[in-house]
Amino acid sequence: MIVEDIIKKIVLSSNYKYRVRRNSIRESWIKRGFTPYFAHELCMCNEKLRLSELYHTLDEATSYNPAVIVGEIIQSGLKEYISGCEIEPVIEKQIGSDVVIGSPDFYSKENGGIVIDVKFKRRKVEPLEHHRLRVAIYKWLADAQNGLLIYISPTGIKEFIVDKTLTSNDIKNLIISPKSPMWPEWECTYCIYSHFCSKCVAEVKKHEKID
């Protein structure tokens, strides 16, 4: 089946990009005596990060989420239309014995540097704070003056400038003061671990069978 083949290829590519490559980079820095932190990890609930490592098969299953698959297709298609940029470069910066690693969707050194992150949204297109934070981290990593968020949805395509700028002290604070949850207003509501997470602050519906 054509659709099954497409899904299989997308999931394999996603698994390599988000898990295999990251784990290889992580292990490389650990062997050198550093503690690695990925940009997305500094923008999320610390307990979710721990649970994703503990229940890695559940985390891997999210690759089959239709929204994730559509997002990968959109990002792949954009590569044909955004020129003059590096695609998903791995950027690293050390802070003492820690190292922060990030991979923006697109990066260019021209005109003071710009990092671009692309997001697919099914609902209202508006910049979300955790997306802004990740782009700000990418700006810090790349010493880029400019950051851009591009949202693509069934209702339109919009871009938002990310003015937020972080210092090394800001990054260090994110490392030494992790939060669980990071975004209590909504994070637990959409978390796949919410049904058994002791730090969940949302009222999660239990889908229990009634005999």
Residue 200 lies in a domain: no
Q: What is the pTM of this model?
A: 0.91
Provide the CATH number for the domain around residue 112.
Answer: 3.90.320.10
Q: Assess whether pLDDT exceeds 60 at residue 175.
A: yes
Angle between helices 66-78 and 2-15 (to 10 degrees): 80
Determine the residue type at 43: C
Instruction: List phi, psi (to 5°) of 144.
Output: -95, 140
List strands edge to edge, sheet with 35-38.
35-38, 98-102, 91-95
Instruction: Tell me the residue length of the chain.
Output: 211
* Residue 201 located in a structural domain: no
Residue 196 lies in a domain: no
Q: Which residue has the higher pLDDT, 25 or 63?
A: 25
Residue 113 lies in a domain: yes
What is the rounded average pLDDT for all residues in the chain?
91
pLDDT, position 122: 80
More confident residue, 30 or 72: 30
Average pLDDT over residues 2-22: 90
Q: What is the pLDDT of residues 43-53, one digit of tens each?
A: 999 999 999 99
* 199 lies in some domain: no
pLDDT at 29: 98
Domain total for the chain?
Answer: 1
Q: Regarding beta strands 146-153 and 114-120, do their DSSP bridges make them parallel or antiparallel, or are they unpaired? A: parallel
Say if residues 206 and 69 touch (Cβ distance below 8 Å). Answer: no
Q: What is the pLDDT of residue 68?
A: 86
Grade residue 119 by pLDDT with cuts at 50, 70 and 90: very high
The Cα 63–Cα 58 span in angstroms is 10
Parent domain of 92: 2-190
